[in-house]
Amino acid sequence: MIKFFRKIRQRLVTENTFSKYLLYAIGEIILVVIGILIALQINNWKEHKQKEAQIKNALVALRNDLIQDTLLIREALPFIKEQHQLNESLRTRVAKPRATLDTLLQIMRYEFNPNWSDQIIYNVNAYYSLNQTGLIESLSDALKTNIKNFYNKKFFLKNRVEKTTSDYREKITSYVDTYTFGSTPIHDQGPLIDSLVWEHVDSSHLAATFQGLSNFKRILFTETQQELEYSLANSKNLIKQLDLYIEDP
């Protein structure tokens, strides 16, 4: 093709036909410009396809993280609900009109467990990557907003639980320096220490301690349950939206 145009150009120069040569030159320039534009279009199309593939891979990773999180939540939520109910039942027994100091001693010595398990460690690498690469800005406004709103509230609820947990642990430190509680694989202090601790107990201090710890546990259970239930329900909804986007971006 290049040889063909070169021959035409050489013939026009030989014939010394300036007007025809000028028209030819303009036509050649136009063809070059068209070629460049086509090349740019092809390059833009390839870049667009590559970006679409990156977005799809990022959303697949986000979806997998959410699925893993829902499995963790389903495993943890029943235990939280069970412990919440147990804490409330102990508070109810102490609050009954016929409750006595023996009731409180029985609960605090053998039944009340001040321990608190750590929060779930969520899978958030895909979400952070989506933000750091800027790919999240290429999503539709609806999906982008839903993703950001979900994680913003999730992190807010999780941070709230972490703050309450930190405050609660300070109270536990004071408690374990004063009392023993139950015989478990972790807290198997033996009958001698247990009897000495509980032989002369300040009933007022014990009552105030139970009130403070059980109140904190009520708050912790409530906040944790709220966070888990929010994350579970909204993870399911977000997974459905991601499925639609992944199948037909």
Q: What pLDDT digit, counting tens, does each position of 23-41 carry?
A: 556 666 776 667 677 767 7
Is residue 65 within 8 A of residue 126, CB to CB? The reply is yes
Q: Is residue 36 part of a domain?
A: no
The phi-psi region of residue 199 (left if phi > 0; otherwise alpha if psi is between -120 and 50; otherwise beta) is alpha
pLDDT of residue 11: 58
Check residue 187 and give its pLDDT. Answer: 58
Whether residue 13 has pLDDT greater than 60:
no
Position 178 scores a pLDDT of 84
Q: What is the DSSP string of 165-215?
A: HHHHHHHHHHHHTT------SS---HHHHHHHHHHS--HHHHHHHHHHHHH
Determine the Cα–Cα distance for residues 102 and 104; give it in Å rounded to an integer: 5
Give the residue carrying structure tokens 């093709």: 1
Among 4-18, 85-99, 221-235, name the one with the lowest average pLDDT.
4-18
- Does 4 map to a domain? no
Count up the domains in the chain and report the number: 1
CB–CB of 54/226 below 8 Å?
A: no
131 belongs to a structural domain: yes
Phi/psi for 179 (5° steps) reads: -130, 160
Instruction: Look at residue 28 in the predicted model and tell me its pLDDT.
Output: 64
- The confidence score (pLDDT) of residue 163 equals 93
* Average pLDDT rounded to a whole number, residues 139-152: 94
Reading the block at residue 8, the tokens are 């035409």
State both tokens at 115: 């321990």
Average pLDDT, the chain: 84
Per-residue model confidence (pLDDT) at position 176: 80
At residue 48, the pLDDT reads 65
One-character DSSP codes across 84-122: HHHHHHHHHHHHSTT--HHHHHHIIIII-----PPPP--
pLDDT at 111 over 90: no
The first and second tokens of residue 160, run together, are: 């709230």
Domain assignment present for residue 49? The answer is no
65 contacts 125 by C-beta, under 8 angstroms = yes
Question: Strand, helix or coil at 178?
Answer: coil
Residue 33 inside a domain? The answer is no
Q: Which domain holds residue 59?
A: 55-247
**What pTM was estimated for this model as a whole?**
0.77
Region 124-141: what's the mean pLDDT? 93
**Does residue 79 lie in a domain region?**
yes
H or E, element range at 57: helix 18-95
Measured between alpha carbons, how far is 183 from 167 in angstroms, rounded to an integer? 25
Between 65 and 12, name the one with better pLDDT: 65
Can you give the pLDDT at residue 94?
Answer: 93
The pLDDT, as a whole number, for residue 249 is 47
Among 119-128, 165-174, 204-213, which is the least confidently predicted range? 165-174
Higher-scoring residue by pLDDT: 22, 216 = 216
- How far is it, in rounded angstroms, from Cα 232 to Cα 227? 8
Distance CA 179, CA 148 (A): 46
Give, in degrees to the nearest 5, the angle at Cα 120 between 150 and 73: 70
Separation in Å, CA 178 to CA 16, 160, 172, 192, 217 = 111, 28, 10, 15, 19
pLDDT in tens, 59-110: 999 999 999 999 999 999 999 999 999 999 999 999 999 999 999 999 998 8
50: in domain: no
Is residue 63 in some structural domain? yes
Q: What are phi and psi of 178, to 5 degrees?
A: -115, -35
